[in-house]
Amino acid sequence: MEKRQKKPWDEISDMLHAGVSPDVIEAALSSLDSAEVLHTVFSMAPEDQRSLLSLLSPLQAASLVEDLPDAHAADLIEEMSVEDVAPIVEELASDHRVDVLSELDKADAEAIISQLDEEDAHEVRQLIAYPPDLAGGLMMTEFASYPMASTVRQVVEDLTSGEREYSLLTVHYIYVVVKTRKLKGVIRIRDLVFSDPEEKIGALAIPALTVAPDTDLHSLQEFFDAHDIAAVPVVDDRGMLLGIVRRRAVLEALTEKSESDSLKAAGIIGGDELRSMPVFTRSRRRLAWLSINIGLNIIAASVIAAYEDTLTAVIALAVFLPIVSDMSGCSGNQAVAVSMRELTLGAAVPKDVLRVLRKEVVVGLINGVALGTLLGCAAWAWKGNAVLGLVVGGALAANTVVAVSIGGTVPLVLRRLKFDPAVASGPLLTTVTDVCGFFFLLSLASLVLPVLSLS
């Protein structure tokens, strides 16, 4: 019988436990492509992942950390010694360094920062003060800048000599500055290479497009949509060059935000989960939402219990209960999605609640009547009872109006109250549409119960 080949993560784990030389382990990882390396790490036990990071060279470990989600990387290094972590953090690009450290508790982050050299520590403390969804929080401080009086030859020789460290940056542009960091212009590398070697770069520089450190993620997205450049310099109100934001960093931030919002909407508290995380951490994050859901479902079920006699008399109503609540919920979720998008774009703010409510009521009335008519006709055709059709259709129409009104306004109200709309809008909408849907259908049926006696 042929012996089954070991998986890469089993091989790496065996090497770690056997005390194999770090060079051998690095060679084994180097034989895998980047996707395989990431899969291998995620398939290993957390303690083995930490052992691997401790064993690798700081540069190799940093390369691995940069491929991991920030929260996962933070979970790993949180349990490692500061002496092991600091050299790894030192090798990270400035933007990744801040992203990972900002996921840690302040005390843990500061313990690591204090081990960095003075210049890096000062830089990290400045960058980590910016929110992660602003230009200041997304920028990196590795960029190529030179004084206006430098010649093309001097700049090219410096870039190619290896005397300066640009390994963390794909150099597309050089930035022309005066007084160390006051931005005067920008030059594309290709234009630099084909210029007269004795030309002063100040004469070649063109005015640079810039953003402020408080530019938000949506504005950065719009900026890069409008301008075909790989990076934009970040300057303060004095025109001093603080860093650069890469197009790639903005795209990654947008993707992470979308993934986080999707997880939050699904009830993953914190908006971040991987199966490589500790089991109890994952369980706790899910239970936080599921426990609340039990209470909300009990509230909805209590409405049905209050109309038990009506349901017993007209058992056909039970068929339409989930249809009324589900269809209304779908309409409400559409309204939630629009409000969430408008909040992100800045097209709506919390004080727009009444304006949003008016617009959603109109849409709810139109869609409610249309959907109610369709469902009512289906109920009439099924049981041959027009009154049943009116009850079912009327309940769906009324609940649709309620659902889109709640769905459109709840995200704005939650934002005003400093709650995360991506987390709380879903459960509130579900509870309201269930409770109101059951109430409308069963209360209307109770009013005309004698006529609903179906043979």
Give domain status of residue 250, yes or no.
Answer: yes
CA–CA dist 229, 207 (Å, integer): 14
Q: What is the pLDDT of residue 1?
A: 40
C-alpha dist (Å) from residue 161 to 141, 168, 410, 454: 21, 16, 59, 90
- Mean pLDDT, rounded, for 333-349: 84
Are the C-beta atoms of residues 336 and 361 closer than 8 Å to each other? no
**Model-level pTM?**
0.67
Domain ranges, residue 292: 279-452
Domain CATH for 401: 1.10.357.20
Q: Could you say which DSSP state residue 214 is in?
A: T
Candidate from 116-130, 378-392, 421-435 with smallest mean pLDDT: 421-435
**Domain count within the chain:** 3
Q: What is the pLDDT of residue 455?
A: 42
CA–CA dist 409, 386 (Å, integer): 35
Q: How confident is the model at residue 267 (pLDDT cuts 50, 70, 90)?
A: low
Domain CATH for 234: 3.10.580.10
* 255, containing H or E segment: helix 247-265
Q: Which residue has the higher pLDDT, 259 or 418?
A: 418
Give domain status of residue 273, yes or no.
Answer: no
Give domain status of residue 402, yes or no.
Answer: yes
Give domain status of residue 159, yes or no.
Answer: yes
Q: What is the pLDDT of residue 246?
A: 92
- Mean pLDDT, rounded, for 106-134: 90
Model confidence at 291: pLDDT above 80: no
Q: What is the pLDDT of residue 101?
A: 92
Candidate from 102-111, 125-134, 366-375, 412-421 with smallest mean pLDDT: 412-421
Q: Which residue has the higher pLDDT, 269 or 136?
A: 136
Residues 224 and 284 reside in one and the same domain: no
Rounded to the nearest 5 degrees, what angle is found at the Cα of 317, between the Cα atoms of 315 and 318? 75
Give domain status of residue 3, yes or no.
Answer: no
Residues 246 and 386 reside in one and the same domain: no
Q: Could you say which DSSP state residue 229 is in?
A: -
Q: Is 140 exposed, middle or buried (0-12, 13-18, 19+ CB in 10 A)?
A: buried
- Mean pLDDT, rounded, for 275-292: 70
- Say which amino acid occupies 77: I
Give domain status of residue 291, yes or no.
Answer: yes
Torsion angle of the four alpha carbons 85, 125, 41, 271, in this order, in degrees rounded to the nearest 10: 140
CA–CA dist 86, 58 (Å, integer): 9
Q: How confident is the model at residue 166 (pLDDT cuts 50, 70, 90)?
A: low
Residues 259 and 285 reside in one and the same domain: no
* 243, containing H or E segment: strand 241-246
pLDDT tens per residue, range 397-413: 999 999 999 999 998 99
Q: Find which of 140-144, 172-176, 394-398 is predicted with most confidence, using mean pLDDT.
A: 394-398
Residue with tokens 């300066």: 164
State the number of CA atoms in the 13 A half-sphere of 252 facing the CB. Answer: 16
Residues 299 and 393 reside in one and the same domain: yes
CA–CA dist 226, 223 (Å, integer): 5
Are the C-beta atoms of residues 403 and 433 closer than 8 Å to each other? yes
Q: Could you say which DSSP state residue 210 is in?
A: -
- Say which amino acid occupies 74: A
Residues 124 and 151 reside in one and the same domain: no
- Mean pLDDT, rounded, for 170-174: 76
Residues 83 and 29 reside in one and the same domain: yes
Would you state the structure tokens that stand for residue 335, as one six-digit string?
């309204």
Give domain status of residue 354, yes or no.
Answer: yes
Model confidence at 89: pLDDT above 50: yes
Residues 212 and 299 reside in one and the same domain: no
Residues 99 and 52 reside in one and the same domain: yes
Residues 206 and 314 reside in one and the same domain: no
Q: What is the pLDDT of residue 272?
A: 61
pLDDT tens per residue, range 425-454: 777 888 889 999 999 999 999 998 887 765
Give domain status of residue 107, yes or no.
Answer: yes
Residues 109 and 76 reside in one and the same domain: yes
Are the C-beta atoms of residues 360 and 431 closer than 8 Å to each other? no
C-alpha dist (Å) from residue 81 to 60, 74, 104, 190, 333: 18, 13, 14, 45, 46
Q: Report the chain's terminal Cα–Cα distance, integer Å.
A: 69
Contacts 24+ apart (CB under 8 A), 377-386: 379/316, 379/320, 382/316, 383/316, 383/454, 385/452, 385/454
Q: What is the pLDDT of residue 222?
A: 92
According to DSSP, the residues that pair with 137 across neighbouring strands are none
Q: What is the pLDDT of residue 392?
A: 94
Candidate from 189-193, 230-234, 450-454 with smallest mean pLDDT: 450-454
- Mean pLDDT, rounded, for 280-304: 76
Residues 291 and 376 reside in one and the same domain: yes
Binning the chain into helix, strand and coil, the percentages to the nearest 5 are 65, 10, 25
Model confidence at 2: pLDDT above 50: no
Q: What is the pLDDT of residue 275?
A: 62
pLDDT tens per residue, range 28-87: 888 888 778 888 888 888 888 899 999 989 988 998 888 888 888 888 898 899 999 999
Final residue of a structural domain among 129, 158, 173: 129
Residue percentage of the chain with pLDDT more than 70: 90
